[in-house]
Amino acid sequence: MRRLILALVAVAALAAAVAGFYYARVDERYQGFAGTEQFVDIPSGTGSRAIGRALAEAGVVRDEQTFRMAVYLTGTARALKAGEYRFVGPASPKDVARKLASGAVFLRPVTFPEGLTVKEMARAFESRGLGTAQAFVQAASDPTPVRALDPAARDLEGYLFPETYNLPRRAQAATLVGLMAARFLAVFDEPLRQEAQRQGKSVREVITLASLVEKETAKPEERPLVAAVYLNRLRIGMGLQCDPTVIYALERAGKYTGNLTRQDLRFDSPYNTYRYAGLPPGPIAAPGKASIEAVLRPAAVDYLYFVSRNDGSHVFATTLAEHNRNVKEWQKDFFKKAP
């Protein structure tokens, strides 16, 4: 009996010593990986033992046992969350456990400004190292997310909402496109849809016109004015004569050189609003919410014309004579005075 007691005491002492050994390590900062950063992907459903093993293999913690001790001491055993985590420099096992419990997974922000086409978004997607432009274009070619609102949509041009999206490193193009389409549906909400219906405008008409407004001006105060000009023209059957629609048509055909010429204005395309009256077949870019609202709540003005002041702003006119004077002042005479 005495030997049994001694043996139990020895085992308890050894266990206490081992526990003390790992207890002493949970606050020690450690880095076992080369370079300044290390990524660790924790799949959903992974237990603390497997998580500790993955962290140890990645050099984030010394060993699995120390990490499990840290999890126990921090009370995070049931709070560890799946995802990809980025670790920079040395960290203590307790810090690592708390980070996984907080769910601070690594996300990369990708910003799409207003007024981009699908192809331009695709290039931005590829430039961030998230995937190929081709994959993005392919994902955006499926109009399923907006089919209920726009049965005529052949793709998601105009329906990928411009915003900043936070994505994991391995985000698929289809995932991002889905998020962008969902965000559009959230922004173009029921009140806006009802207002469009009340005015007798289809969703496609609203977004198409909003895309023209978005491409014509970046100034918030001008959007309702530009929208009013185009709506006034549509009302009287006057051609929209919108330069961005011609550029879009040329880009679709691979013929845009970066400089719009008089000959380009004669380019035969249903998107060329110099040749064809009314709205183009669909959106030519992704409008922001302000441009969408401008179409539904245009300024109460009689303007039919506007011309650039060459500083991002425009001067508006009601009559052709007034417009011609503005063109002379801001286009012809302005450039004559330029050094």
Question: Tens of pLDDT along 122-164?
Answer: 999 999 888 999 999 999 999 999 999 999 999 999 999 999 9
Q: What's the CA gap between 29 and 168, in Å, rounded? A: 26
Please give the pLDDT value at position 128.
86
pLDDT greater than 60 at residue 1:
no
Please say if the pLDDT value at position 283 is more than 80: yes
What whole-number percentage of the chain has pLDDT above 90? 80
Model confidence band, residue 171 (pLDDT cutoffs 50, 70, 90): confident
The neighbour count for residue 222, using CB atoms within 10 Å, is: 19
Residue with tokens 């609102």: 149
pLDDT category, 108, cuts 50, 70, 90? confident
Q: Give the pLDDT of residue 169.
A: 80
How much is the pLDDT for 15?
41
Please say if the pLDDT value at position 8 is more than 50. Answer: no
Entry pTM = 0.82
Under the banding of pLDDT at 50, 70 and 90, the label for residue 26 is confident
Q: 176 near 141, Cβ under 8 Å?
A: no
Give the start-to-end residue ranges of the domains of the chain: 2-102, 109-187
Going by their DSSP bridges, the two strands 37-42 and 83-88 should be labelled as: antiparallel
More confident residue, 215 or 25: 215
Q: What is the pLDDT of residue 130?
A: 87
The C-alpha atoms of residue 115 and residue 216 are separated, in whole angstroms, by: 9
- Computed over every residue of the chain, the mean pLDDT equals 90
Residue 141 corresponds to which tokens in the numbers above?
């070619």
Spatial contact of 207 and 287, defined as CB atoms under 8 Å apart? yes
Whether the CB-CB separation of 112 and 97 falls below 8 Å is answered with no
The mean per-residue pLDDT over the stretch 90-107 comes to 94
The continuous run of DSSP H or E covering 213 comes out as helix 203-216
- The backbone region for 163, taken as left when phi is positive above 0, alpha when psi lies in -120 to 50, beta otherwise, is beta
181 vs 177: CA distance, rounded Å: 6
- CATH of 2-102 among 3.30.565.10, 3.40.50.1000, 3.90.930.12, 3.30.1490.480: 3.30.1490.480
pLDDT in tens, 217-270: 999 999 999 999 999 999 999 999 999 999 999 999 999 998 899 999 999 999
Contact criterion met (CB below 8 Å) for 37 and 87: yes
How many other β-carbons are positioned within 10 Å of the β-carbon of residue 56?
17
Cα–Cα distance measured from residue 231 to residue 209, given in angstroms and rounded to the nearest whole number: 9
pLDDT band at 62 (very low <50, low <70, confident <90, very high): very high
The percentage of the chain sitting over the pLDDT mark of 70, rounded to a whole number, equals 91
User: In whole angstroms, what is the distance from residue 50 CA to residue 42 CA?
Assistant: 9
Measure the CA–CA gap between 101 and 71, rounded to whole angstroms: 9
